[in-house]
Chains A and B, each alone.
Chain A
Amino acid sequence: MEDLKTSVKGQVLAIQDLPTLPGVLDEVTKLVENPETSTEEIANVIGKDQVLSAKVLKMVNSPIYGFPGRISSIQHGLVLLGFNVIRGIIISTSVFDMMVQAMQGLWEHSIGVATASNIVARRAGFDDPEEYAVAGLLHDLGKVVTAVQLPELHESILNTAKEKNLSYYKAEKHVLGFAHDRINAWLARHWHLPGNIREAMSRHHSPHMAELYKSTACVVHLGDFMVRLFEFGNSGDDQTAYLRPEAMKELGFKMSDLERCMDELADQLLDVSDMSF
């Protein structure tokens, strides 16, 4: 299994282009072509796409700019990169030509978790809820990378989940020996993403294990739980979600807090589902 891990890690980190879904890319392309567009408008649209968001954060946190690991907001990323670089990112992003249908569910799930994480962070009284939203948006990025770089393994994970009636997470462990949280950890470190985002990406299934940014991991864990409960989008399986009591405790949440968040999320998901994917 160690061999598979080494070879998979190499393939994962070698990823050159993460494709995205056509809808958001078209929208951003139009915005960027118009010189009147503000960075805020572009940030709002990019903030709905896990792949474009990841690309922006990867670039602005790269050592070339001189402040790796510092920027976790898309809006700040855009201001620091400037229009030319954003245009470059947009131009060099391709679209999923196959499996758009399969990917669509994951996109919906991710934006759902971004929305939910924002709600939970605010409820917990944290500053900068937008950063928790970014962490939520990127929490399943490893699954996109698997689909692109390791299509056969990805296929096999999906089949295993279906045949053995497992969660996608368990099926990954069955096939690979590890799961997307590990892949996320590799990517986040390789791309110099800030610690809070890295921790949420690698610890959203085990927030109690988080070391430095436990609260971010817990918020995203709760967000993930809520969105799966609503069966909004699809992150690779149709299993029931689990909720770690430690996460509730860490955030100081009672069931009533969770219920309030669920109500708010129900309203917001209606808006989100209007988005064209």
Chain B
Amino acid sequence: MQFPKYFNFWHKLGMHSLRLTAWAVLAFLMLPILVIIPLSFNVEPYFSFTEGMLAFDPDAYSLKWYAEIINDDKWILAIKNSFLIGAAATVIATVLGTLAAIGLSRADMPMQRMIMAILLSPMIVPLIITAAGMYFFYTQLGLAGSYLGVIIAHAALGTPFVIITVNAALSGFDYSLVRASLGMGASPSYTFFKVIMPLIRPGVISGSLFAFITSFDEVVVILFLAGPEQRTIPRQMFSGLREQINPTILAVAVLLVVVSALLLLTIEYLRARGERIRTGQIS
């Protein structure tokens, strides 16, 4: 580390301990996630390291918990459901959320602040309250225990994220481009797809990824609203953790870490791209 000349011993000690603290916190953030990776290859049905594992004995490791996922109908159904429900909810959330964000970004929008607060509230209201209310209401509509009910619920939870990211992508959006397009005779829908969309696309895509992960990771609403047919990965993990703890859950967890790492990379790429578009550094 380079220090300014006027730094004395105590300044330097302070800076070193700051760096040490920062690294310790980073370790605290990462280690729990890293620790489950070797544990998922444990040949024994435990959540802890065996002596063989610590001695790097190849016999102490196995892929059997991963194989178990593939052979278990419940997990297969859960994986299918997670992707199906997540994809459907994402489509609804992205379409409605993008349109709303565009409307809300217009200065002509009346009661902007209040509407924004209401539209973002699904993100803030505790899931247990949302789930209980949805249970009461959706049961009356006959939507409890159906795919449609779960998809609608997850779409509602996902829209705030789309609004936030699209709103951010629209910051600094120059509406004179829209006026120019319309003024030169383009139709509103042509203007939307050829002028607005390309400029906000990174925001829309990262918003839809947020909406997808919200659904993919959600378990409280599923617990209340879904029947056995709509069992998702988190729901299956939750009951597994409550009933009998089995390392299959660790294998699923590791696969989920891989999925989140991929999503993270995509989002970061899109964000960098969005940044370049906004600052005009793209050709």
The answer on A and B forming one complex is no
| B interface, CB within 8 angstroms of A | none
| A interface, CB within 8 angstroms of B | none
